[in-house]
Amino acid sequence: MGKISSKNREKLKREQGVDPFIGFIDEAVIKKEKAKARTLRAGQWWKRKRSAGICHYCRKSFAPADLTMDHVIPLARGGKSEKYNLVPCCKACNTKKRQLLPAEWKEYMDSLNK
Ligand SMILES: [Zn+2]
C-alpha cells in the first residue's frame, strides 16, 4: 500500500472530496466492526438510546422498533462501531443516506437544519 503523507491526504480531500485512505479498508476490518455493532445493538446502551424514539438526522419521532442503527461515518469509509459513531436512524433517512453520495447527504442534512 502506498504511503500518503497527511499533508497530501488533506490536499486530496480538498480537491476530490474523498479521503484517499478509504480505498484501503479491509473486508476483515469491516467484518469485525459489523460484529461489534451487533454486540452493541443487543446491549442496554443501544436500547436506551433507541427508546427515545428520535431519528438522529431528521429529528422526528418514531416507534423505537422503527429506528435502525446507523454508522454516521459508514464502515466502508473508515467509520468504527463505537458509540460516538452509532445513532438511531429512521428508515427514510437510512434509505436516503445509502442512496446519496456523502456530499449530497451533507447537502440534505444542511437543508434540514435551515
Ligand atoms: Zn430520519
64 alpha carbon to ligand 1 midpoint, in Å? Answer: 12
82 alpha carbon to ligand 1 midpoint, in Å? Answer: 20
Domain boundaries along the sequence of the chain:
13-106
Check residue 1 and give its pLDDT.
44
The CATH code of domain 13-106 reads: 1.10.30.50
- Rounded CA-CA distance 95/97 in Å is 5
pTM of the model: 0.74
pLDDT in tens, the chain (114 residues): 455 677 776 776 666 555 555 556 788 899 999 999 999 999 999 999 999 999 999 999 999 999 999 999 989 888 999 999 999 999 999 999 988 888 899 999 999 877
- Rounded CA-CA distance 10/18 in Å is 10
Integer angstrom CA distances of residue 82 from 9, 75, 106: 24, 11, 21
User: Residue 80's Cα: distance from chain center in Å?
Assistant: 8
